[in-house]
Amino acid sequence: IKKKKKNLRANLLHSVTLLSVVQGQQSRKMAIFAAVFILTTLLILYSSSNNIEPVYAPFHMAANHAIKTTDLKKWSGKDGYVPVYGNKNMTLLCHHCALVTSSSHVLGSQAGEEIDRTECVIRMNDAPTSGFESDVGNRTTLRVVAHSSVFRVVRRPNDFLHHTDANAAVIFWGPPNKIGKEAKGTLNRLIQRVSMTYSNLSCFSIAPSKMRRFDSLFHRETGRDRQKSHSWLSTGWFTMVIAIEICDNIKVYGMVPPNYCGKKPGSKKLPYHYYKPRGSDECLTYIQNESGRRGNHHRFITEKQVFARWAKQYNITFTHPKW
């Protein structure tokens, strides 16, 4: 648009010069033509500058769909988590959990000590603790890692797989052709090697059958088929469900309420991840994903609408911001 505007402005100047040259001696025809041209140009400039605002057409939960509540406490089933190495069982159960999100809303919270005092601390993907201890604490009981974050986690094992609790676990999720017993690729070999090296850490992958159950849960809660609606589940979705399965009480740090971003991105920019200060803006990422039609997108805002419902059903509270 900028380039277009520049061209139009150049044309405008050109025609004004033309106008003065033809003045007097030349026919009035030319002057009229130039005037019309200037008016048209102004009109185009005006309408194009009005079109810059992003149009927000959010993902919609199916209309009139009756929400069939799922008891996530019973939904669990022990078979859903397959040990990557050895015959460990996913037995993690906690009375109190701190779910630390990766949002930059945690910055400046000074919640680190409170988080570290919590029985179980849950983190996601490659969200680091070192350098951010005063805001996010330094313990990790469970880390939920997406297939797309495996390389980043494995590359710096000291940051993500050391300094963890004695009963610490990592749950890897991803499409069954990338993660799990049947997968043959590099990703799976990496996970296996890490699980062997850090044998005091319990590593699991989500079984294909359970991955399908995560999809049907999304369908039941939103009335929309995940694949047909071109949606991807986020690590936040997996982590929240797993936290409800294993924790009696959950305090979520750094998650904004579903209506936080409004219809347009706010003027105040906040990075999507606390550890990437120059990364994309959180609200912009949420809104663009929510309105994405072509290609698959995360439905961060819809997911939060579901979380808000779950918060009433289970013991979930939100802090930084509080809601």
Binding segment (CB under 6 A) for ligand NAG, from list 3-11, 14-22, 120-128, 282-290: 282-290
Q: Please identify which residue in 114, 119, 133, 159 interacts with ligand NAG, judged by CB under 6 A.
A: 133
For position 166 contacting ligand NAG by CB under 6 A, the verdict is yes
CB-based contact 177:188 (threshold 8 Å): no
Q: Please identify which residue in 298, 299, 304, 320 interacts with ligand NAG, judged by CB under 6 A.
A: 298
**Distance of closest approach, residue 25 Cβ to ligand NAG, in angstroms:** 57
Report the candidate in 240, 243, 242, 320 with the shortest Cα–Cα distance to residue 274: 320
CB-based contact 72:310 (threshold 8 Å): yes
Residues 6+ apart with CB under 8 A from 295: 230
For position 198 contacting ligand NAG by CB under 6 A, the verdict is yes
Residue 318 CA to residue 274 CA, distance in Å, equals 17
Alpha helices in 203-299 (DSSP H): 208-222, 235-246, 282-291
For residue 267, report the phi and psi dihedrals to the nearest 5 degrees: -75, -30
Q: Which two tokens stand for residue 184?
A: 């043959």
DSSP type of residue 271: B
The residue among 56 and 198 lying less far from ligand NAG, judged by its C-beta, is 198
Q: How many residues bind ligand NAG (CB under 6 A)?
A: 24
Binding segment (CB under 6 A) for ligand NAG, from list 4-12, 55-63, 223-231, 284-292: 284-292
For position 71 contacting ligand NAG by CB under 6 A, the verdict is no
Please report, as ranges, the residues that interact with ligand NAG according to CB under 6 A: 87-89, 95, 112-113, 116, 133-134, 137-138, 162, 166, 198, 200, 248-249, 285, 288-289, 292, 298, 314-315
